[in-house]
Amino acid sequence: MTTPREQAALDQLATLIDPGTGQSWSASKQVKGVHERAGRLQVDIELSYPAASQHAGIASELKQALGADEVHVTQRIVAHAVQRGLQPLPGVKNLIAVASGKGGVGKSTTAANLALALHAEGARVGLLDADIYGPSVPMMMGAHGRPESADGKTMSPLVSHGVQLMSIGFLVDEDQAMVWRGPMATGALEQLLRQTNWDDLDYLVVDLPPGTGDIQLTLAQRVPVTGALIVSTPQDIALIDAKKAVRMFEKVGVPMLGLVENMAVYCCPNCGHTEHIFGADGGKAMAEQFGLAYLGALPLQRSIREQSDAGTPPVVAEPEGAIAGLYKALARQVAVAVGRLGKDYSAKFPTITISKST
């Protein structure tokens, strides 16, 4: 039987809002237990998204609001559904495609820091460099060497800053040009995806090359994608191609997680003057036009470029810095957007084998 104190806490949890999901704790089904034992009230919260940096704050706020003696906050990431007719990759719960439609907008930098931020928030994360012609993940993540293969058929991902990595850049010399036609490039992409032994990933972030050609279509049609994230600058000419990327994912039934506006504002480190070099709020306007979630704006800052070129992106170079905070906030929003999608129940169904009777 529920005690009066337990019931009062449950009633409050139905009205108190989780800032991550924007829903009440009860509506988001993140309340795992409310118990009063020996006069002590304990509340258990299980987040559906990675937010390790927020656990202590959430526990403190709920403890005060509920008058609880203990509030325990944990998190559990589950697999979500992919395109109809496809099965999730082994060892990967959720695959997030990061696309732009146009080069030069900082998509790879965003993908790398997104992966690192998800890891920093307590998730198991992989990063796949899908740019066969211009791989940048090895340099950006400070990773070197060749993947190992125990059986001659599959590869173990490299690991850097706690993130599992795979890139064609690990398999060819740095200055070797990949002079491949489309079918060869798409075949290489599928091999990198399916022949890598991803180890129990909550999220695999895939850094797509710019454009809406063979590689992007292969990923969207034949690879189990949970959702896609669009990166663009506010500049009109970049948004034109970003819109094409949105349309491509819509046509093949890949859910859109939202849009992030990169290089949105420049702040002079000397005088503090801010300037919208690529225009203001173009990404926000596009998000409204297409009904996408606007996941925020990232600045144009020299330190982001310098730290990424050095193989230690901002999330690891300055984990408590303002830029890392922006990427972690983005990571939580992306994870919440994934959490709103339908769950994957394929593993719950038994395998049916039909054999001929003798």
Q: Give the model confidence (pLDDT) of 85-131 as tens digits.
A: 788 889 999 999 999 877 888 899 999 999 999 999 999 999 999 88
* pLDDT level of residue 180 (50, 70, 90 thresholds): low
Beta bridge partners of residue 266, listed in sequence order: 275, 300
Residue 98 CA to residue 112 CA, distance in Å, equals: 10
The predicted model gives 132-144 an average pLDDT of: 88
Mean pLDDT across the stretch 20-33?
Answer: 95
For tokens 């798409």, the residue is: 186
Binding-site positions for ATP: 101-108
Q: Residue 264 corresponds to which tokens in the numbers above?
A: 């949105």
Per the CB < 8 A criterion, the answer to whether 7 and 16 are in contact is no
* 206 φ/ψ sector (left φ>0, alpha ψ -120 to 50, else beta): beta
DSSP state of 77: -
Per-residue pLDDT tens over the stretch 294-313: 998 999 999 999 999 999 99
pLDDT-derived band at 320, boundaries 50, 70, 90: very high
pLDDT confidence of residue 67: 94
| 254: Cβ contacts below 8 Å, ≥ 6 apart | 83, 97, 220, 225, 227, 228
Which are the contacts of 219, defined by CB distance < 8 A and separation ≥ 6? 97, 130, 189, 206, 208, 225
Strand runs (DSSP E) across the chain, as ranges? 31-37, 40-47, 70-75, 92-99, 125-129, 158-160, 163-167, 201-207, 227-232, 256-261, 266-267, 274-275, 294-297
**Which parts are annotated binding residues?**
101-108
| Residue 124 token pair | 């198991």
Each residue of 252-269: pLDDT tens digit?
888 999 999 999 888 777
Q: What are the chain's domains?
A: 4-75 (3.30.300.130), 92-339 (3.40.50.300)
Query: How confident is the model over 165-178, as pLDDT tens digits?
Result: 999 888 876 666 65
Mean residue pLDDT across the chain: 88
Task: Indicate if the pLDDT at residue 36 is higher than 50.
Answer: yes
